[in-house]
């Protein structure tokens, strides 16, 4: 993978805008993080296509426009502490790290965490803490969070994650059965309770219990 040329980057940003990613800070963050660093072999050459691609452990790096739309929906500010469930390649966490004060990201495969950490170091992103674990329980030690993003599909927004969201906080999570099209939901926690918005149809791998067996 070579660094993308100006034409490739322009087409990438054009594709993101045409699919609804319009927030300038999100677009700048996505322009500054080379997706090719999170991919291996032949897939690195396809980094600037707006498609999900395979990574290790049978998992996927999400489609860039979906990463952009989820990040935009999260409305991250530079003061925020963000929790991500499902590190995968680390691409989404790197985008968040450009926008937030601190990012905690949890992944059930040790191998993916190990590989993502190397890229975070290459990109000099010291505000990411990446952990191996079952993220459906959240990270009670560091709670509450300003923002929570789940990048795997849950049948319902996980209760422990809702409990770890600050009042005034936002959580974005794909909800639905793993073998079907799911709905991306935004949850806002107010002093009066939880408000739910249905954003768009999406397709994600399932949020699974326990640790993954590295392959």
Residues with a known catalytic role: 62
Candidates 20-28, 168-176, 182-190, 203-211 — which segment interacts with ligand SAM by CB under 6 A?
203-211
Structural contact between residues 208 and 108, judged by C-beta atoms closer than 8 angstroms: yes
- Site membership for ligand SAM, residue 61 (CB under 6 A): yes
| Smallest separation (angstroms) from ligand SAM to the CB of 9 | 19
User: CA dist 18 to 5, 9, 201, 202, Å?
Assistant: 20, 14, 17, 17
- Site membership for ligand SAM, residue 85 (CB under 6 A): yes
- Site membership for ligand SAM, residue 4 (CB under 6 A): no
- Is the CB of 118 or the CB of 168 nearer to ligand SAM? 118
Distance CA 114, CA 108 (A): 11
- Taking alpha carbons only, the member of 183, 181, 180 closest to residue 196 is 183
Tokens for 168? 């005034």
Neighbour count for residue 29 (Cβ, 10 Å): 21
Distance CA 145, CA 166 (A): 6
Question: Could you tell me where the DSSP H helices lie in the chain?
Answer: 6-18, 24-32, 64-74, 91-99, 110-122, 159-163
Residue 154 β-bridge partners:
175
Candidates 3-11, 27-35, 120-128, 130-138 — which segment interacts with ligand SAM by CB under 6 A?
130-138
Task: Give the interface size with ligand SAM as a residue count (CB under 6 A).
Answer: 25
- Site membership for ligand SAM, residue 109 (CB under 6 A): yes
Binding mask 145-174 for ligand SAM (x = CB under 6 A): ------xx----------------------
| Smallest separation (angstroms) from ligand SAM to the CB of 180 | 16
- Alpha-carbon torsion, ordered 112, 3, 73, 23, to 10 deg: 170
- Site membership for ligand SAM, residue 56 (CB under 6 A): no
Candidates 39-47, 71-79, 80-88, 96-104 — which segment interacts with ligand SAM by CB under 6 A?
80-88
Structural contact between residues 97 and 67, judged by C-beta atoms closer than 8 angstroms: no
| Smallest separation (angstroms) from ligand SAM to the CB of 25 | 18
- Is the CB of 47 or the CB of 170 nearer to ligand SAM? 47
Q: Which residues bind ligand SAM (CB under 6 A)?
A: 59-62, 85-86, 88-89, 91-92, 106-109, 112, 134-136, 151-152, 204-205, 207-208, 212
């Amino acid at each position: 993978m070579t660094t993308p040329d100006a034409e490739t980057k322009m087409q990438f940003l054009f594709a993101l805008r045409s699919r609804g990613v319009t927030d300038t800070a999100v677009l700048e963050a996505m322009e500054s993080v080379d997706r090719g660093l999170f991919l291996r072999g032949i897939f690195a050459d396809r980094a600037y296509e707006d498609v999900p691609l395979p990574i290790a452990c049978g998992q996927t790096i999400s489609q860039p426009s979906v990463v952009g739309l989820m990040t935009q929906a999260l409305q991250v500010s530079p003061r925020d502490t963000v929790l991500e469930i499902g590190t995968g390649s680390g691409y989404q966490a790197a985008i968040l790290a450009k926008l937030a004060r601190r990012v905690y990201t949890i992944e059930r495969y040790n191998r993916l965490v190990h590989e993502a950490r190397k890229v975070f170091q290459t990109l000099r992103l010291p505000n990411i803490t990446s952990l191996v674990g079952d993220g459906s329980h959240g990270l009670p030690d560091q709670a509450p969070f300003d923002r929570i993003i789940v990048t795997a599909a849950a049948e319902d927004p996980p209760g422990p994650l809702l409990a770890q969201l600050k009042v005034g906080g936002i959580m974005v999570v794909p909800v639905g059965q793993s073998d079907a099209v799911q709905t991306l939901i935004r949850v806002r926690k107010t002093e009066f309770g939880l408000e739910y918005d249905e954003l768009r149809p999406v397709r994600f791998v399932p949020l699974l219990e326990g640790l993954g067996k590295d392959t």
